Structure 1
Amino acid sequence: MSQNTEYRNQPPGLLPLYGRALLPRKKQRGDSAALPDLSAQLIGVATGGSDLNRYRRVCGFERHRAVPATWPHVLAFPLHLRVLTDSRVPFPLLGLVHVRNWIIQHRPIGEGENLDLDVSLGEAGQVSKGLEFELLTRARSAGRLVWEEISTILFLRPQSGNGKAPKEPLQLETYANTCDVQVPKSTGRQYAAVSGDRNPIHLYTLTARMFGFPRAIAHGMWSKARVLSLLEQQSDWQDGGFTIHCDFRKPLFMPASAMLNWQASAGGLDYQLLNSKGNIPHLSGYVQWHA
């Protein structure tokens, strides 16, 4: 049975949702990839305000009449939590890994424009490391679809066997254009304050070590937004509708010096965010202009 939760003008509070994230989950049966039919809607959310300005500063966006293409992801984040912390979802929120992300901007969204947001669970399937599933987000303005997002999320399962699978060597292509990206130690906390995403692995060294990381790592969606903010400043950037895809690859530990590497491609751009030596990819993807 489909279960939809609707909110009007005000998103669900984050604190109760984080409390729900700590509750025990029902164990998933066997290798079943079946997920509950869940969705959540927020009717009437304004895209402007002080939070948008803070977001621009944290991610490096210049101010335009349109909001950054990654901003609706932040507006929808409480709905993401509402769906993922539902008691019928059979895995815990903490420990889920965001592995891929697509954003499709059908047209620029004006600052202050009102949106209706919808979040739902999509397809799921078994992979070698566990279960991957899609979290789907859509934004409508005056009833028309203006923005979409597909987040692919991995629920890790313990690997069988005694040994680890051999790692394939990284295949990195060097693109023509490069610029430096500085990631201060406080980036995770600044992004958490404006996005609401307070996963402990992004905040402090101490909290990240609790989950097996030597230092705090940057949010994947901050990294994607920072890349987009830099690409938008290039002379060959095109305004209008576009799709931006990325694969989240290796953690970006903070503080860090990284480099954005990109090149023009047929109908868009290819890009990768690398470490300062250029031999480890933190994320990679492409931008495709819409005709």
Structure 2
Amino acid sequence: MTHNAKYHNRPPGLLAMYSKALLPKGKQKGGSTTLPDVSAQLIGVSTGGADLERYRKVCGFMRNRAVPATWPHVLAFPLHLKVLTDSRVPFPLLGLVHLRNRIVQHRPIGEGETLDLDVRLGEAKKTSKGVEFDLITEARSAGRLVWEESSTTLFRQPEASSGKTRKAPPELETFANTLDITVPESTGRKYAAASGDRNPIHLYPLTAKLFGFPRAIAHGMWSKARVLSLLEQQRDWKGGAFSIDCDFKKPLFLPGSALLNWQARTSGLDYQLLNGKGNAPHLSGRVEWLDQA
């Protein structure tokens, strides 16, 4: 049975869903990978507005006629919460770990363009660390798919035998191009104001400590957006239709510094966001051009 929530022009309110996120859920039985058919839709949402300007500013995007490729993720964020806080979804929202994110922009989306958004649960699989599952988002304009995203999230449920000796991480490859990035302490709060993502681990040292972090950490999707905003300003950037993949690695503590490290290829770009010393990655990924001959 499908459990679909549909909204017109305005998304569901975040406050009620954050309150719901604090309520306990039943235990996930035996690492089951069978997920309910839960989805949410937002019909007729505008891509413009004051939040877009705040988002551009905190992420460093230049002003132009198209919205950042990461912006539809923010527009769909209330739908993500709606799906994840549904009582039929067995995973608690707080404590989920964002592992990977893939965005495909089939064409640039104009500022003020009207989109229909659809969010649903994708596939799930059992791993040694727990259950990984996908959250799928699609954006359509006049009925045509223009943007899509797959976010892979981990519900921790480690196996009893998973405490064995960890493998050494692969040797870090570095690329020819590097930019220094300074990340102010207020970044998490400013991104939360623009995006609605008010997870307490991103806001203040005190709220982050409640969840085991010594300081607040940057949102993973802020880090990806900041990387994208800088790559767009490089001579190697082609834009148009492209995909951008990202694997989230180590947290970026606030305040902090980081290094954007990248290289150009014929079909796209390889990139990574390293710590200030350049010896460990916060995230890594690639951009692929989709409209090249």
| TM-score tier after normalising by the smaller chain length | over 0.9
| Amino acid in the other structure paired with 1:166 | R
Give the distance between the partners of 2:173 and 2:116, measured in 1 at CA: 40
Give the distance between the partners of 1:31 and 1:60, measured in 2 at CA: 40
Instruction: State the SS of the aligned residue for 1:54.
Output: helix
TM-score normalised by length of structure 1:
0.98
Deviations, residues 125-146 of structure 1 (Å, cap 9, x unaligned): 0011000000000000000000
| Amino acid in the other structure paired with 2:168 | E
Give the aligned partner of residue 231 of structure 2.
Answer: 231
Q: Do 1:26 and 1:89's aligned partners in 2 also have CA atoms closer than 8 Å? A: no
Equivalent residues in 2 for 1:25-44, closer than 5 Å:
25-44=25-44
Deviation at 1:30, TM superposition (A): 1.3
Give the distance between the partners of 1:31 and 1:254, measured in 2 at CA: 34
| Amino acid in the other structure paired with 1:94 | L
| Amino acid in the other structure paired with 2:236 | D
Give the aligned partner of residue 21 of structure 1.
Answer: 21
Give the distance between the partners of 1:14 and 1:52, measured in 2 at CA: 17
Instruction: State the SS of the aligned residue for 2:207.
Output: helix
Q: Do 2:31 and 2:157's aligned partners in 1 also have CA atoms closer than 8 Å? A: no
Deviation at 1:91, TM superposition (A): 1.4
Q: Percent same amino acid at aligned positions?
A: 73
TM-score normalised by length of structure 2:
0.97
Equivalent residues in 2 for 1:206-225, closer than 5 Å:
206-225=206-225
Deviation at 1:109, TM superposition (A): 0.1
Equivalent residues in 2 for 1:82-93, closer than 5 Å:
82-93=82-93
CA pair 27-129 structure 1, distance change in 2 beyond 3 A: same
- Write out the 4+ residue segments of structure 1 that deviate beyond 4 Å after TM superposition: 161-164
Give the distance between the partners of 1:157 and 1:200, measured in 2 at CA: 22
| Amino acid in the other structure paired with 2:174 | T
Count, aligned residues: 291
Give the distance between the partners of 1:52 and 1:199, measured in 2 at CA: 20
Give the aligned partner of residue 160 of structure 2.
Answer: 160
Give the aligned partner of residue 4 of structure 2.
Answer: 4
Instruction: State the SS of the aligned residue for 1:271.
Output: strand
Give the aligned partner of residue 122 of structure 1.
Answer: 122
Instruction: State the SS of the aligned residue for 1:80.
Output: helix
Deviation at 1:154, TM superposition (A): 0.3
Instruction: State the SS of the aligned residue for 2:259.
Output: strand
Q: Do 2:129 and 2:162's aligned partners in 1 also have CA atoms closer than 8 Å? A: no
Give the aligned partner of residue 134 of structure 2.
Answer: 134
Q: Is there any run of 5+ residues in structure 1 with no aligned partner, and where?
A: none
Q: Is there any run of 5+ residues in structure 2 with no aligned partner, and where?
A: none
CA pair 211-240 structure 1, distance change in 2 beyond 3 A: same
Give the distance between the partners of 1:162 and 1:266, measured in 2 at CA: 40
Q: Do 1:26 and 1:88's aligned partners in 2 also have CA atoms closer than 8 Å? A: no
Q: Do 2:95 and 2:155's aligned partners in 1 also have CA atoms closer than 8 Å? A: yes
Q: Do 2:21 and 2:93's aligned partners in 1 also have CA atoms closer than 8 Å? A: yes
Instruction: State the SS of the aligned residue for 1:126.
Output: strand
Give the aligned partner of residue 184 of structure 1.
Answer: 184
Give the distance between the partners of 1:153 and 1:96, measured in 2 at CA: 7
Give the aligned partner of residue 258 of structure 2.
Answer: 258
Which deviates further from its counterpart, 27-36 or 113-122? 27-36
CA pair 51-134 structure 1, distance change in 2 beyond 3 A: same
Give me the CA root mean square deviation.
Answer: 1.1
2:95 matched to 1:68?
no
